[in-house]
Copies of this chain bind each other. A is one copy, B any other.
Amino acid sequence: MLHRRIYQFFIIYCLGLSGLFAFKYTLGLSDYVIPSPTDVWSTAQEYLFPFSMDVLDTLGVAVVGHMISICLAAVVAVIGGKANWIGSFIKMAAYNIQAYPIVAVAPIIFILFGDGLTSRLLITAMICYFPLLLSFIGIVSQPVPDIEHFYDVTGQTTWWLPLKVRMFENTGKLITVISGSATVAMVGTIIAEFIAADAGIGYRIRIALYQSDLSKILVALFLIGICTSLYLFALEFMGKKIQQRMDVQ
């Protein structure tokens, strides 16, 4: 499985790269517009290791941000899934905040939280939590009457129980969404770094962008891809284990 993930990623990456090179050579573009294979290769040799460190750094933040996002989305979905005023208010707030581009909100975040790890995590979480939230709200607001009926009529329903039932019935979907959102966590972290940090692969990308250095960007994308695939795989693996255990018991 892991092995398949990785070689599929290689295929995708190579396809993309070949496409770019094909574009370059059919139009006879200079190395400045699209770098030559040798250029990319030498950049790779030089930067693969330092960039790997940066990607790992980024991954670390992404993992924490991902966890925060999951909790955040769960809490918002639980409150926002309620049919009352507060619920719709929270949902409204959560949706609205999402509509604001992070670049516009970033200055406010920096004013309020400084520009340390907190802000980076916050930005990551803000970007990552929304796809989760959407699915969570979808799941949490759809009743499972055949299971919930008993609790409703016997007065044993707590605020938590319907949520538990609905989440449990949709474990497969939840796992898909949670592990899938790993990629959003990664991209969120990179954007946070792009905006604010002086470390991590997002920061490297920004420099490469200013220097119009597509080779470096390509190397960075390669590493991001591998790293994300690994993280994704790890989560899906865990998800599968959880599901198996739930079925067995």
Contacts and interface: CB of A to CB of B under 8 A. Distances in A.
B228 A104 contact: no
Given A88-B4, A88-B8, A172-B142, A209 B111 contact: no
Interface in A177-232: 177, 180-181, 183-184, 186-187, 190-191, 194, 202, 205-206, 209, 212, 214, 217, 220-221, 224-225, 228-229, 232
Q: How large is the interface on A (under 10, 10 to 19, 20 to 34, 35 or more residues)?
A: 35 or more
A245 to B, nearest CB: 18
Given A4-B88, A95-B232, A194 B134 contact: no
A180 to B, nearest CB: 4
B173 A139 contact: yes
Interface of A: 4-5, 8-9, 11-12, 20, 23, 29, 33-34, 88-89, 92-93, 95-96, 98-105, 107-108, 111-112, 130-131, 133-135, 137-139, 141-142, 170, 172-174, 176-177, 180-181, 183-184, 186-187, 190-191, 194, 202, 205-206, 209, 212, 214, 217, 220-221, 224-225, 228-229, 232
Given A11-B89, A99-B228, 15 more contacts: A5-B92, A8-B88, A8-B89, A8-B93, A23-B112, A96-B225, A96-B228, A99-B183, A99-B225, A102-B187, A103-B191, A103-B209, A107-B212, A131-B131, A135-B135
